[in-house]
Structure 1
Amino acid sequence: MSDKIEPGVEESFISHLVELRDRLVKACYGLAIATALLMLWPGPSAIYDFLAQPMVDSLPVGSQMIATGVISPFMVPMKVTMLLAVLLALPWILYQVWAFIAPGLYAHEKRLIAPLVISSSILFLTGVAFCYFIVFSRVFKFINAFSPTSIHMAPDIENYLDFIMSMCLAFGVTFEVPVVVVVLVRMGIVSVEKLKAIRPYVIVGAFVIAAIVTPPDLVSQFSLALPMWLLYELGLVIAPLFVRVTQAPDTVD
């Protein structure tokens, strides 16, 4: 038996590699453009000031955050700017991924993947926005309200960045719950009826997860657990509809 690869197969494989390279390059161009635009306006300093505003608003009047590292005032705003650039370029990056895989999909598979990619991106960004605009201000004010008067609050900017990134990631992933529910049902791993039956365990699990990934205060824990539960319920409603829409057409023998 010959191990020689057929010319047509080899050409097809090379063309796929070239297409993948082109899509990766275009995705990198989009990320570079988003980064450059953010560098020009509003700039790394203004972006970090915006990100730090919930913390600064909760501090005593005249208080500021501190930098304990020599290059921290430069590196931390740069990191924040690059992370924001990734979020802004995410639709373009996902479009490149979709453009690469779409030609090899059937019509019903396109109806399956496209909504999942779009909805998961929107839900993740919604979770991050929910964390920043709603959760942070309440959490910081709640924590500072219980701080002894003998303690002067002056958070370090690097520790603050680590905290907000972990919180935003936790909320972004949490908001993917409907997508997880839909995928489990669509793949036939579990039925909607079974998911409804385990609802009490899901609610308890949501509060356990919230207690693990958030600070030890009731505000942040409820802010994560309640949306997780409600999004689970949303997934139970959407899953049957999604299954019907993305069902493969019946084949004729």
Structure 2
Amino acid sequence: MIVNLFSGHGLLELNELALLRWAHIVAGIIWVGLLYFFNFVQMPAIAAATADQGGPGPAAIGKYILPRALLWFRWAALATWLTGAWYLVRTDQLLAAFTLGLSRGGDTAYGLPMGIGVWLGTILLINVWLVLWPNQKKVMGIVKTEGEADLARARKTIATVARINAALSIPMLMFMVAAGHGVAL
């Protein structure tokens, strides 16, 4: 792709599959990078800021960093999933991936690891949009809560599901890379 740019060929001549793969990888790096940021940097920092009686508290994180980071997190998750799905459509592998390579004489050497990665990525995406985001809106005050107990439940759900997503991201990445590089399971 980069060779095309420097060899006098324009962007219009770039291979669609190469662009899809590149977009998928970049969006995935943003998504998973923010997932790790939330789990390994932000959540411990908020806990430390809350415990620090003389410090500024977690308000700055919640007001300035969290909304922007969550915006990028949500949309990077969707962009990653959509570019990955479109790549699989264009390579005629979508059905094979979602059926773990067992459909219509599918290639299980590719379909099984890719399918496991696809299903894990789909679970992560569902968690982002249908579990994390509704609860994050409560914590950030975008939607009303039904009192302190509801807010505490939302915080606990966020912490639990974020940790689950972080844990699931490791095998997801392993299986997706295995599928594309011929790593035997």
- TM-score w.r.t. the length of structure 2 is 0.32
Higher alpha-carbon Rg: 1
TM-score, normalization by structure 1: 0.26
